[in-house]
Structure 1
Amino acid sequence: MVGQSRKWMILIATTWIQAFTGTNFDFSSYSSTLKSVLGISQLQLNYLSVASDMGKAFGWCSGVSLMCLPLWVVLFMAAFLGVFGYGVQWLVIKQVITLPYFLVFVLCLVAGCSICWFNTVCFVLCIRNFPTNRALALSLTISFNGVSAALYTLIANAINPDDETLYLFLNALVPLLASSLALVPILRQPPLQLLSTDTTSRDSFVFFVLNVLAVFTGLYLLLLNSLSSKASRARILLGGALILLLLPLCLPGIVCGRSWARRTVHTPAFCLEGPTFSSFDPDDFDQLHKELIGNDRNNNSSSVNPFSETNKEGLFGMIMEKGRLTVLGEEHPARLLVRRLDFWLYYVAYFCGGTIGLVYSNNLGQIAQSLGYYSQISAIVTLYSSFSFFGRLLSAAPEFMPSCILHEQGG
């Protein structure tokens, strides 16, 4: 019961980290001021935005670091990369120090690298603690990265609506504070547990509730953020947003209470069951988990086909097949990945297609200024980031859809 409570705390902590580390979304909010202070052209400003995105190309360093360092150390390394990258840029834009263009380019590169390190930590936390529903955990937490611009706009307006340089200061400080708040749940991670079918069903139902709550949070930030032009109203709206982010903290208590009721009260009236939204059979995942922890017992050997044996590093490359669905194991050697066509298809698609939206978002400030809407740039950035949030959240729809379709066909 305690382990179940802790894993939900991990999910909430991961959500907080993602919600406050999407610092690349608010580049347009201060890009014009940065351009003016540095005295650079639009082309040079574009190079700075590209540098921020290119920092993610060095994200593989975070994976290598996790092989040698504890997870919480990598988390704070990411935070201090952001403190250095954005903090020094803030000193530059406040004209406290003067740096050449090349060093500012390097600072943008470091700041972008910190974002990728945060993402790696969050991915590992979700996969470790939700091996069965990791797709739901990843889609939920990653989606909150899209509300960062809206949250930062509220914080900046609550402090001083007229100071655009605040965004860089917040980009440096807020992720460090979020990492500090998430430290305790990360240090108290539960051990790997085998999940029963009932537990998997309840977890899927909780994820459904969390997705509904996430939709309300996104709508709140999207519809009410335009009212935050004054500091007093921005503080009230910021308080409401923080309450929505803290609301999932009730989940561990609910999970513990339901587990206690199921064990102590043996009446149908207290049997709280949620629908199963996972598109995979939990029995298959139970078998996969047993293989991953080295359990020699095999309850469903007829449904499992070994793909490869465990290598020297303990990486596992088993494939489970059910119908047309193929589910890979938890870990795969790099040399196995680079031989697969689907890996390179994903790589090329992400490399070529994932940057299209970034080109647009990084130039929102200049687009708004050229159209005469520069005073509304914060609202435009919030609008863009909010729809990015909903788009990411929508990626979880296939995980819920199969059960709904089957339910309609059965009815």
Structure 2
Amino acid sequence: MESEWNALVRGLRCRWMMAVASFLILSFAGSTYVFGLYSQYIKVTLKYDQKTIDTLAFFKDLGLNVGIVAGLILEFSGPRVVLCIASAMNLCGYLMIWLSVTGRVAKPAEWQMCLYQLIGGSSMTFINTAVIVTCVKNFPMGRGLVIGLLKGFVGLSGAILTQIYLAVKGDDPSFLILLAATLPSVVVIALMGFVRLVDSTREKNEIRNFYVFLGMALLLAGFLMVFILLENRLKPPRTVVRVFAVITVLTIFVPLLVVIRSQLQKTEMNVAFPDVEKSRVEQLDTETSVKHISGSVEMPGVNSQESDPSIDVSESNHKESMEDKKIKSQKKWPVRGEDHTVVQALLSADFWILFVATICGFGSTITAIDNMGQIGKSLRYSPVNVSTFVSLFSIWNFLGRVGSGSISEILVQKYSIPRPSLLCLVLAVTCVGHLLIAFALPGSIYVASIIIGMCFGAQWPLMFAIVSEIFGLRPFAILYNIEQSSSPLGAYLFSVRVAGYLYDKHAKDQHEDHMHGKSSLPLSHAAAPSHTLTQLDEIMCVGKQCFRDTFLIMAAVSIVGCVVAGVLVYRTRQFYKQDIYGKFNTDKDQEDSRLKAQVSTTTTKSNS
């Protein structure tokens, strides 16, 4: 019994437990994705204009996507330290925002609120860096699917956090900020012990297991979407919402039960066939010893020149010199697929082409995301409708992430289609979503939320997988953080400088027309009673014209990004025709054959 228990404990420290712990951490880490639900509350409480709100959103995105420091810390300290820092940053950043908007501290200056958003958003970068880099190194094969699942749970986290908020206290945005400060921090601290690098041979059914997790995640996403739509239509009582929230949280933990069941079966297998497990361990020990001996002991006839006096020392030195030059030449400028240094990657045209394409993609979609609350309000949608937009975006954000990860993996491995080609398609579809917002047809914002969410989510696993495939896994922690800094840069250019400016311009023009009796548009009264109507009209805009120009520009930006990504497709077409994962297959095939032979031999002995 004791040996079985020890085997189960070892099983819970395996790669799969690490993967499930990562899913759980990311499922509750949706603080940055509910900004659209409480941004209007900050705007009214602190009397900000739209440009200031967009500036806060920019600093949120800056923290969310600039993680070079997180990558450096991970390289030198490991994932647990990074996660511990992430928990502290999330708690401090969002707790200070909650204290500010509830009046528990003096009204902060604008730069202080920007700092709080930066700290809170940075916590997500630390979580992503620790979890994604560790998972990709633990599961190098099928990295597109792995990254898609991980980023998918991040996208779904916004809807999960929203449902918990609606179940507990859905009419108080300040509580949502407090929930965003505490829940992710607690979950990270509870599960960070499982997130670590695990040395293990790749299993035969590894990809199939990820597809099982994918199926569970899709069921959860479908469940969420159906209830959100019913919630919007039927307005169920709070009790029903609470029951649904409990079911949602329990569903998130189903993969944990799957891993425990799998490890129990594996433990029973080891008990039934102890010779196989013993032989496997002995084999690994023998291989390790041989490698150690061959690397440290001079073997006769192999490493000693004294064993063969006929060897020409000068000729041997010349060959070694030529090989050293060849190795140095390769290290100086590696080809696509080999490990690059950070400097080599930054000097590569591929890196900056991808960077420009993602500036266009992320910048335009984040503009829609961060302004979703104001878009709904300008088109006279109710707060429940706005919550529906955010939830639909979160769910389709998830579907875009897991969909692009799994579909691109199939296209790459089976058909040798360059992964950047799917990025081109995503950016082209994004243009449609922006046009739907620009023309604001009846019900078009619902469809736009789905399209924008799906396209925003789809870009993340594509970008990460492309970086890891072209530049290698060794510098991945730093390079992917540099690459994703395109997101806040795009957000600043398009959300702050374009959307914020145009919205405030339309709001000012509308207010002046109303004061002179030229406007027939009704003014919004959705404000706190402590403010006068005149104060609010100066910073609010109502009507289709508020965001029309902005999203016509965003549609054009998406097309530009599509063209730039097409250049990367052309440059990498030959690279993706080869077996880019071939180096990860050799050891796995040998291990599978050896274990099959051992199981067969052990079974024959037991039967006889």
- In 1, the alpha carbon distance for the partners of 2:123 and 2:170 equals 27
Instruction: Tell me if 1:153 matches 2:133.
Output: no
**Residues 5 and 256 of structure 1 are in contact (CA less than 8 Å); yes or no, is this contact kept in structure 2?**
no
TM-score, structure 1 as length reference: 0.78
Instruction: Tell me if 1:209 matches 2:212.
Output: yes
2:256 is aligned, of 249, 261, 273, to 249
Moved more, 257-266 or 86-95: 257-266
Greater share of helix: 2
TM-score, structure 2 as length reference: 0.54
**Residues 144 and 389 of structure 1 are in contact (CA less than 8 Å); yes or no, is this contact kept in structure 2?**
yes
The aligned amino acid for 2:219 is F
The aligned amino acid for 2:74 is L
Q: SS where residue 149 of structure 2 aligns?
A: helix
The aligned amino acid for 1:378 is S
| 1:183, distance to aligned residue in structure 2 (A) | 2.2
| 1:57, distance to aligned residue in structure 2 (A) | 4.9
**Residues 78 and 115 of structure 1 are in contact (CA less than 8 Å); yes or no, is this contact kept in structure 2?**
yes
Instruction: Tell me if 1:235 matches 2:242.
Output: yes
The number of equivalent residue pairs is 356
**Residues 13 and 194 of structure 2 are in contact (CA less than 8 Å); yes or no, is this contact kept in structure 1?**
no
Q: Would the alpha carbon gap of residues 232 and 31 (structure 1) be closer, same or farther in structure 2, given more than 3 Å must change?
A: same
- In 2, the alpha carbon distance for the partners of 1:295 and 1:131 equals 28
1:22 is aligned, of 30, 49, 71, to 30
| 1:350, distance to aligned residue in structure 2 (A) | 1.8
Instruction: Tell me if 1:183 matches 2:192.
Output: yes
Q: Would the alpha carbon gap of residues 353 and 260 (structure 1) be closer, same or farther in structure 2, given more than 3 Å must change?
A: same
Q: What are the residue-to-residue correspondences of 1:232-381 with 2, within 5 Å?
A: 232-257=239-264, 259=266, 327-329=337-339, 332-376=340-384, 377-381=386-390
| 1:103, distance to aligned residue in structure 2 (A) | 0.8
| 1:216, distance to aligned residue in structure 2 (A) | 0.4
| 1:405, distance to aligned residue in structure 2 (A) | 8.2
**Residues 31 and 158 of structure 2 are in contact (CA less than 8 Å); yes or no, is this contact kept in structure 1?**
yes
| 1:252, distance to aligned residue in structure 2 (A) | 2.3
Q: What are the residue-to-residue correspondences of 1:159-178 with 2, within 5 Å?
A: 159-178=168-187
**Residues 144 and 408 of structure 2 are in contact (CA less than 8 Å); yes or no, is this contact kept in structure 1?**
no
**Residues 18 and 141 of structure 1 are in contact (CA less than 8 Å); yes or no, is this contact kept in structure 2?**
yes
The aligned amino acid for 2:342 is A
2:124 is aligned, of 115, 119, 134, to 115
Instruction: Tell me if 1:78 matches 2:86.
Output: yes
- In 2, the alpha carbon distance for the partners of 1:264 and 1:364 equals 56
| 1:230, distance to aligned residue in structure 2 (A) | 3.7
The aligned amino acid for 1:397 is I
Q: SS where residue 373 of structure 1 aligns?
A: coil
The aligned amino acid for 2:207 is S
Q: Would the alpha carbon gap of residues 229 and 172 (structure 1) be closer, same or farther in structure 2, given more than 3 Å must change?
A: farther
- In 1, the alpha carbon distance for the partners of 2:149 and 2:293 equals 31
Match of 1:222 in 2: 225
**Residues 317 and 328 of structure 1 are in contact (CA less than 8 Å); yes or no, is this contact kept in structure 2?**
no
Unaligned stretches of 5+ in structure 1?
Answer: 267-289, 298-305, 320-325, 407-411
The aligned amino acid for 2:170 is P
Between structure 1 and structure 2, the one with the greater Rg is: 2
Match of 1:301 in 2: none
Q: What are the residue-to-residue correspondences of 1:136-147 with 2, within 5 Å?
A: 136-147=145-156
Instruction: Render the CA deviation track for 1:27-84: whole Å, top value 9, x for unaligned.
Output: 1101111001111111111111111112235310101112332321211211211111
**Percent of residue pairs identical:** 23
- In 2, the alpha carbon distance for the partners of 1:96 and 1:204 equals 51
Q: Would the alpha carbon gap of residues 139 and 371 (structure 1) be closer, same or farther in structure 2, given more than 3 Å must change?
A: same
| 1:125, distance to aligned residue in structure 2 (A) | 1.9
The aligned amino acid for 1:337 is A
**Residues 5 and 252 of structure 1 are in contact (CA less than 8 Å); yes or no, is this contact kept in structure 2?**
no
The aligned amino acid for 1:79 is S
**Residues 48 and 108 of structure 1 are in contact (CA less than 8 Å); yes or no, is this contact kept in structure 2?**
yes
Q: Would the alpha carbon gap of residues 386 and 261 (structure 1) be closer, same or farther in structure 2, given more than 3 Å must change?
A: same
The aligned amino acid for 1:123 is I
Q: Would the alpha carbon gap of residues 316 and 360 (structure 1) be closer, same or farther in structure 2, given more than 3 Å must change?
A: same
- In 1, the alpha carbon distance for the partners of 2:78 and 2:357 equals 32
| 1:134, distance to aligned residue in structure 2 (A) | 2.9
Aligned residues: CA RMSD: 3.3
Match of 2:56 in 1: 48
Q: Would the alpha carbon gap of residues 96 and 3 (structure 1) be closer, same or farther in structure 2, given more than 3 Å must change?
A: same
**Residues 20 and 174 of structure 1 are in contact (CA less than 8 Å); yes or no, is this contact kept in structure 2?**
yes
Match of 1:280 in 2: none
